[in-house]
Structures are given as C-alpha cells and as structure tokens.
Amino acid sequence: MANEPTKVLLEESQIPRNWYNILPDLPKPPPPPLHPATLQPIGPDDLLPLFPADLIAQEVTRDRHVPIPEDVLDVYRLWRPTPLIRARRLEKSLSTPARIYYKYEGGSPSGSHKPNTAVPQAYYNARQGVRRLTTETGAGQWGSALAFACAQYGLACEIWMVRASYDQKPYRRSLMRAYGGTVHPSPSAVTTTGSRILAEDPGCPGSLGIAISEAVEVAGGHDDTRYALGSVLNHVLMHQTVIGEEALEQLAMLGETPDLIIGCAGGGSNFAGLVFPFLREKLAGRMAPVLRAVEPAACPSLTRGVYAYDYGDSAGFTPLLKMHTLGHTFVPDPIHAGGLRYHGMAPLLSHIYELGMVEAVAKNQSECFKAGLRFARTEGIVPAPEPTHALAETIAEALRCAETGEPKVIVTAVCGHGHFDLPAYEGHLAGHLEDVPLPQERIDTALAQLPAA
Amino acid sequence: MANEPTKVLLEESQIPRNWYNILPDLPKPPPPPLHPATLQPIGPDDLLPLFPADLIAQEVTRDRHVPIPEDVLDVYRLWRPTPLIRARRLEKSLSTPARIYYKYEGGSPSGSHKPNTAVPQAYYNARQGVRRLTTETGAGQWGSALAFACAQYGLACEIWMVRASYDQKPYRRSLMRAYGGTVHPSPSAVTTTGSRILAEDPGCPGSLGIAISEAVEVAGGHDDTRYALGSVLNHVLMHQTVIGEEALEQLAMLGETPDLIIGCAGGGSNFAGLVFPFLREKLAGRMAPVLRAVEPAACPSLTRGVYAYDYGDSAGFTPLLKMHTLGHTFVPDPIHAGGLRYHGMAPLLSHIYELGMVEAVAKNQSECFKAGLRFARTEGIVPAPEPTHALAETIAEALRCAETGEPKVIVTAVCGHGHFDLPAYEGHLAGHLEDVPLPQERIDTALAQLPAA
C-alpha cells in the first residue's frame, strides 16, 4: 500500500455535472412546510418575494438530477474538485487498522463547504436580474461564502452579522468586506426590526433570529433584492451533494468500499452533501455503509429533540417546518462550533432520520477540540470546530477498530479550516473550555413553546 | 481554449525527487560568509553548534541535485504538489490578452511556502538526534511552519516571537501552539539576552534581531537543541525549488513557455524557489523568460541597497554575508508584509542579481493591497500581504499587455494566504494605510554603520 497516494485528486472535467436530488429515491416524501397562519402547505408563489424562481423550483423538484449550469461550474473550478485524503499519519498515531479518508472542503475561497451553494444561489439570482442579496450570519462562514459568490456575479451583498460575533470575530467580518460585502452588526439601525430592538435595548448582543428578520425585511421590501439561506432548505442540501459525488468517484478510483460515513450536522447541509450520494448507492444495494451524523451535546436536535412542526428561526417568522427540533426558543450554550448551534435540523434530513436511514450521536466540545488538535498535529490541517465533531467520532471508531482488529473503511468530511477559530483552540489549550451538561428541563421548556400544527 | 483547465494538478508521484542547487550552474560562486572577528571565510565546523551536519553540507554542496529523503516526501504529500492556476477571472477583469498563471502555496498546513524548508530542516535535525529546535518569528509565518514540521518528527519547538507581533497577531501565536509549539514573547525572561533587555526596558516591543539572539542563545547552550532559519541561507533557498520545478512541469503540460516570472522577495526564499529552476532553463537556452523580483518600497534592499558584507541580524551576532543590504541597523516602516521587512537579501540571490540575471522593482503598500483585493474578488483567494507585491506587478504588466496587445505568458506565485492578515485589509479598506516615502538619508545613515570587511 506504500505506493498508494495520500491524496486522491480528480480532474476539473470530473466535477459532477449534476446535483443529486434524493427526493425521488425516498420511499415517501417529507411533510410539506406549512403557512404559519393557515397551517396549509405553502406554495412556490409564497416564496417569490424572497427567492428567485429557479431556486424555488429546485426546492420542490422531483427530478433525480439537476444540471449544474456552466457558469456555476466555471466558478466551482476555482477550487473543485476537492481532494479526498487518506489520513495516514492520523491512522498511525492511533495504531488503528482502520483506513480513514476525509474529503477536505477547507480549500475553498471562504474556507468551508458553504460556497458550494452560495455560488449557485448568487448565479440564479443574478440571472433573474436581482441586484442585491441579503443574508444573516452567525460566526461568519456563510456570510463570507455569499460575499465571495456575489463578487463573482456582480451582485451587491448585505450581511447582518450577530452583534456578539461581529465584535468577537473581526477577521470573518473583514473577510466579507474584502470580498466586497457590506456587513451590519445585528440588530442594526438600518431596519425597522433592528431599530425597534435597539430602541428598547441599545446594547443588545443580537441573535440569529434577529439577523434573519433584518435580512428578510430588507429583501422583502425591495424589488431588486432577494434573501439567501445557507442551510436547512432542500435546494441548499442538494447543491452540497457535489461533495459526496466526488468522494464516491474518488473511493472507486481506489477500489475502496466504505463501511462507515461520518459527518457533523448543524443545519444539515454538510452532512447531507457528503452522505446523500452514498445513501443513494446504499438504497440501490450497491454498498452498505453505516451513515452517522455527529451533533454537539450542547445542541442535540437529532438525539434529544422531537420530530415536530416548528419555526425555522427563533423569532417565529418563517413557515412551519416538520423537523427534528429542540424548540425554536431553545438557546444553545455558546460552544465554539457556531455552525452547529441551530435548534432544528433540515426537514429533509430529519425525514430521512425518521425513516431509520441514518444514525446520530452527540459529542462534548472538549473531546472535539482534542480530536482537532490530534488532527492538526498529524495531518497538518487545523479543522474548524464544526468538523472536529466528525473527527472525534472518527477517532473513537478507529480506536474501536484498534481493539477489534477490524480494518474498517471510514469516510468523513473536514468541511472547513479553523483559521478563524484559533482563539477557541487557545481557550481549549489553556483549559478554559468546560463541558456543561444540558439539563432535560431546558429542552422541555423550549419544547413546550412549539407552535400548534 | 475554453476546455483548458483552470488548475493544473500533478500526481503525488510528480513531486520533485530532488531539490535543485543552482550553484554549479553559475559562472562564478558567490563570495563566502566571513567570521566577524577574523574576517576569514567561516568553515562548516563553525556552524555545528547551530545546525545539523546534513544541512551544513547542503549549504556548501556543489551537487546540482540533492535527493529529497523519502520521509520528507511523505510529509510533502500532505499538500504537494501544489496547483498551478490560470487566473482566468483576473485576466477577464483586466481585459488583458496576457495569460496569467500563479503557483499557489497557501494550501500548505501553515498556509505559506515556509513548510517546504521547515519539514526537511526538522527531519535532518531529528535524524541527527536533536530533540528541540529554536527559532525566531516576526509575523509568525515561519514559526507556525516550523511548529508544524516539528510535530511531524516528534521534536519540541520553541519560538521567540517579536513582542509587538505577539500582542498584535494572537491568531498566529495560537496556530503555533495548536501545532504543539512553545511561544515566548521576545524579549523573554527565559534567556540571558532577553532578561538583560527587560531589566533595562520592561516594555520593550522587541525586534527580529533580539528574537534571533534569544533563539541562538538557547540552541548554542544545549547539546540536544539546534536553531532553524526560514530564509536567506543557501539550503533554505534550495528546499524551496520544489515550487519552480513543479511549475515548470505544469507549464510543459500546457505547452506554455513563460515570458515573465514575477515573485515577491524579502529574504529571498520564495523568489528563489520559484525562479531558480526557470533560470536553469534560461541558462541552458531552453527558454528566455524575464525574471523579476518585487520588493516593498519601504524596504528596497535590491533597488536601493548596496552590495556589501553585512550582518544577517540587526544586533550583529551572525557571520558577515555579502548581500544586497540597507544596513543591518535599518528599521523598515511597519508595513503589513512582515515577511518582506528584512534589511538584506539572500547572498545567493544577491550574487545572481549582481550577475544581471534577474531584475527588481519596488512597490508601495497601497498598490499592493489594491491588487490583493482585486485578486480576492476575482480568484477567490485572499493573498497574504507579501505576494500582493508580486500580484501588483503582475497586474501592472497585464495592463501594459492590454495596451500593446501582447499575449505574454506571466507566471507568479501566491506564496501564502492572508487569513491572518485581514485586519490589514480592513485598514486598507478604511483608508488608514498611507504610503510614506523612504528618505535617502535613512538608508545612508544605516549604510554608514556597515561593518568593515
């Protein structure tokens, strides 16, 4: 095996030509989103003020394959295909017979998997004549991906960044500006919602819910402006399937069949993007990998939430989505994996979880940072706090293999680098990060406020 | 040309098997380093307390090709070969007939070209039984590369980081710690030199000269410890030639012959690594590219310095090196391209410049940041401040081509990403960065303090 490559690379001509839509391959469709007032399924027209027609069509399409436009492929080529890397040095440090492969998405312009959907979203908006996109961002991964994508198609990009992050994460804020984006701390005086909140509480640290409200308000109020969302929706998950499609191709080149696919899950787009193509192969009987989502113990929507209709945002402005949720009023502890601090899980992924097709486990933060450091010191890449969750489970599984002697083939994704999260690593190294158990009553309190549906 | 790829990738089997040593291909050798007391050429033995024997041998070897050890290739495989990327979107934004290619070294573990030499340096030290490496670092690029490399071979790594940077660049400091390095602010109480300085001036912001003294003091005082340098020396430049060797191969795959190679130059290792293999081809008559170094107007050792014997460090502890220098007491203005703020230029590169084989130009900081932003918004990658110097000249040349209609083939290197330099971009965007001319008398004053040799 010494002559096998460490990295499996594909040619640009091997970038997938289609996104994969898992809907037609499921035994039954997921329950539809409901209008919060009428409790009736919402139609495509209800979404037109916020999204371009092409994306709304992708949200509900039953086509198994959706062609990737040439203009999107052209931007994907800046960093795709991404490498599949055999983690030989990590394996060696674990003395495991397992073979560990990771798909690395941190080499994208903004440093995560987010541009996979930001680029087509910007493209379809630009094609429809939209001049500006608005969005919210927490830690800034999504905002910087969208700012980059907008720069590619000449769109203005306006981002409401949760005030607490705006103050604490100046590098991410600067990255959005370097790409030409406009960044507002949220709440902001720019919107009615923000102004009202600031009038009541000038020092308000903001929340993702407030930032969504501001971005949606501006998009809804201007004909030339639309809104963009970085996870949760069907079309976002579909755009991310380029990750899994490439990984399938790369494993085939090695003649490897995966026994286990492990991905971190917050809103669900990274996990779905990696796993859905493998699930298709599994449903077709061509392979039989276990598919395992890893979520933070501080925000365990799959492992401790319920499957129910709930709002997508904390403020309760969105349609009702049937999903695994801790309740839209649930506020997770401030762990550093900001991208995993979401009260719900993508409806499509929640549905698939309900069908018993994927497993889920939850991890404490300190185990994850330990895994991140081990990965950095062996493989060289400092991973973002989000994928350290997948790495912690990968390492745990590889150590189980070391005990049993099983040469399992484990595939995971490092969905982003941790260059902007180094203060969190510093905190871990200094022993400042403590794992705080999540009491059941906090979940119960939030679940008591689920909307009636 | 539409079907030509954006990125030219090589297989891992195409990582060069040898470093290229340009010495035997030069019409005459560069003048030797001198002992500062005797003014006699220093011998290999003088360096044994600081460097392992293998690296000292590489420093003086006349072999044209030096084999890269298998254990070094094994670590190179984590990120090498690096892509050669056609900057199509940048070209389009400039409406230029020029074809622009850039070698991207920012995908390495620590985010720059520095691991190309940090890895072999750590390897040869480990092989000789050394247990610990010491070094200095300014902005932190070199320190983080060495910390990563030491983690690969089980060496301890102790880094003296200039106090001002230590306080201003916490992310780089954390990166070194994430790799397991120990980082001291310099001056530190750990050394005699540092303690003495702190006793006189407890608030001393430090300097590269002081940090070198501290690292050398600790290396010299312990049998199991050696010192590592990130640029300037012959063996460091030689390790970097993997950049140019790969680029040659990649251009050949495209059937392209370069008209112009542009690289930024501070200590000289990035420029030499990119350019020396092309210079070999030029000397052999196989191509005739112009080779152009770009340095900051605030630290113009090639364009405004003299060619003379000088100390390698500001404090005057090192052997005397014949090089282009602004004088070892010259303190450049605090531009953000920390890696280009060196009073001298690698002796080998200085010698080649004297032979008339390469050109040099100097650029102001604001033109460089403008180029960096244009590059980020078209190509997606936010470049470190150092390579924005090469990009500024590349863009200027491409615009000249737009006027003349010449379809020049321009090759450059983006030797690192700018993720840890985003506050500098923010300052540029906010209009806080001003170009301050460098008065001739500041250079003259420093040159008046050149050592007699």
| pLDDT tens digits, one per residue of B12-66 | 999 999 999 999 999 999 999 999 889 999 988 889 999 999 999 999 999 999 9
In sequence order, the 6+-apart residues with CB closer than 8 A to the CB of B430 are none
The partner residues of A383 in beta bridges, in order of sequence, read A417
Shortest distance between the Cα of B430 and any Cα of chain A, in A, equals 10
pLDDT of A367: 97
User: pTM to 2 decimals?
Assistant: 0.96
Asked if residue A172 belongs to a domain, the reply is: no
How many helical (H) and strand (E) elements, i.e. helices and strands, does chain B have? 19, 15
| Residue A199 banded pLDDT, cuts 50, 70, 90 | very high
B330: containing domain:
7-15+68-111+235-432
* Segment (H or E) for A290: strand A290-296
**8 Å CB contact of A170 and B376:** no
**Residue A198's CB: how many other CB atoms inside 10 A?**
16
The partner residues of B18 in beta bridges, in order of sequence, read B67
> Which tokens go with B338?
């920390």
Better-scored residue on pLDDT, A283 or B4: A283
- Within 8 A of B174 by CB-CB distance, chain A residues are 422-423, 425-426
**8 Å CB contact of B151 and A420:** no
Q: What is the distance between the alpha carbons of residues B383 and B375, in angstroms, rounded to a whole number?
A: 8
| Residue A3 banded pLDDT, cuts 50, 70, 90 | low
- Within 8 A of B110 by CB-CB distance, chain A residues are 380
Structural contact between residues A337 and A368, judged by C-beta atoms closer than 8 angstroms: yes
pLDDT of B44: 87
> Which tokens go with B332?
């450049």
Structural contact between residues B61 and B52, judged by C-beta atoms closer than 8 angstroms: no
Question: For position B416, which CATH number holds?
Answer: 3.40.50.1100
> Which tokens go with B31?
């003048």
Shortest distance between the Cα of B210 and any Cα of chain A, in A, equals 26
- Within 8 A of A378 by CB-CB distance, chain B residues are 151
Asked if residue B55 belongs to a domain, the reply is: no
**8 Å CB contact of B422 and A170:** yes
* Segment (H or E) for B311: strand B306-311
Helix A365-379 / helix B170-178 crossing angle, nearest 10 deg: 80
Asked if residue A298 belongs to a domain, the reply is: yes
> Which tokens go with A204?
């308000």
Contacting B with CB below 8 Å, chain A residues are 5-7, 9, 11-13, 77-79, 85, 89, 107-111, 115, 148, 151-152, 170-171, 173-175, 177-180, 373, 376-382, 419-420, 422-423, 425-426, 429
- Type of residue at B369: F
Q: What is the distance between the alpha carbons of residues B249 and B20, in angstroms, rounded to a whole number?
A: 14
- Within 8 A of B169 by CB-CB distance, chain A residues are none
pLDDT of A313: 83
**8 Å CB contact of B9 and A11:** yes
- Within 8 A of A12 by CB-CB distance, chain B residues are 5-7
Mean pLDDT, rounded, for A372-393? 97
Torsion angle in degrees (nearest 10) through CA of A339, A340, A342, A346:
100
**8 Å CB contact of B78 and A170:** no
Asked if residue A418 belongs to a domain, the reply is: yes
Q: Please, what's the b/e burial string for A347-356 (b: 16 or more CB within 10 A of its CB; e: otherwise)?
A: bbbbbbbeee
pLDDT less than 50: residues of chain B: 1-2
- Within 8 A of B77 by CB-CB distance, chain A residues are 5-7
- Closest chain A residue to B154, measured at CA: A377
Q: What is the distance between the alpha carbons of residues A232 and A243, in angstroms, rounded to a whole number?
A: 17
Reduced to 3 states (helix: H, G, I; strand: E, B; else coil), residue A413 is strand
**8 Å CB contact of B7 and A420:** no
In sequence order, the 6+-apart residues with CB closer than 8 A to the CB of B33 are B41, B42, B319, B320, B321, B322, B347
Q: Is residue B232 packed enough to be buried (19+ CB in 10 Å), middle (13-18) or exposed (0-12)?
A: buried
Domain count across chain A: 1
- Within 8 A of B108 by CB-CB distance, chain A residues are 380
**8 Å CB contact of A6 and B107:** no
Shortest distance between the Cα of B222 and any Cα of chain A, in A, equals 25
- Closest chain A residue to B177, measured at CA: A426
Residue B265: DSSP 8-state = -
**8 Å CB contact of A423 and B111:** no
Shortest distance between the Cα of B408 and any Cα of chain A, in A, equals 22
In sequence order, the 6+-apart residues with CB closer than 8 A to the CB of A177 are A147, A183, B425, B426, B429
Mean pLDDT, rounded, for A74-89? 97
Shortest distance between the Cα of B164 and any Cα of chain A, in A, equals 18
**Residue B90's CB: how many other CB atoms inside 10 A?**
23
Residue B286: DSSP 8-state = S
Asked if residue B174 belongs to a domain, the reply is: no
Sign of CA dihedral A352, A356, A359, A362: positive
Give the one of A12, A179, A426 whose C-beta lies nearest to B177's C-beta. A426
Give the one of B109, B170, B180 whose C-beta lies nearest to A381's C-beta. B109
Asked if residue A299 belongs to a domain, the reply is: yes
Asked if residue B46 belongs to a domain, the reply is: no
> Which tokens go with A424?
């969190």
What is chain A's mean pLDDT, rounded? 95
| Residue A1 banded pLDDT, cuts 50, 70, 90 | very low
**8 Å CB contact of B422 and A380:** no
**8 Å CB contact of A423 and B174:** yes
**8 Å CB contact of A373 and B178:** yes
**8 Å CB contact of A422 and B171:** yes
Asked if residue B198 belongs to a domain, the reply is: no
**Residue B92's CB: how many other CB atoms inside 10 A?**
10
- Closest chain B residue to A417, measured at CA: B109
HSE-up of residue A361 (Cα within 13 Å, Cβ side): 17
> Which tokens go with A296?
């933070």
Shortest distance between the Cα of A169 and any Cα of chain B, in A, equals 11
Query: pLDDT, tens digit, for every residue of A107-155?
Result: 999 999 999 999 999 999 999 999 999 999 988 999 999 999 999 999 9
- Within 8 A of B422 by CB-CB distance, chain A residues are 170-171, 174-175, 178
Q: What is the distance between the alpha carbons of residues A312 and A343, in angstroms, rounded to a whole number?
A: 8
- Within 8 A of B171 by CB-CB distance, chain A residues are 171, 419-420, 422-423
Contacting A with CB below 8 Å, chain B residues are 5-7, 9, 11-13, 77-79, 85, 89, 107-111, 115, 148, 151-152, 170-171, 173-175, 177-180, 373, 376-382, 419-420, 422-423, 425-426, 429
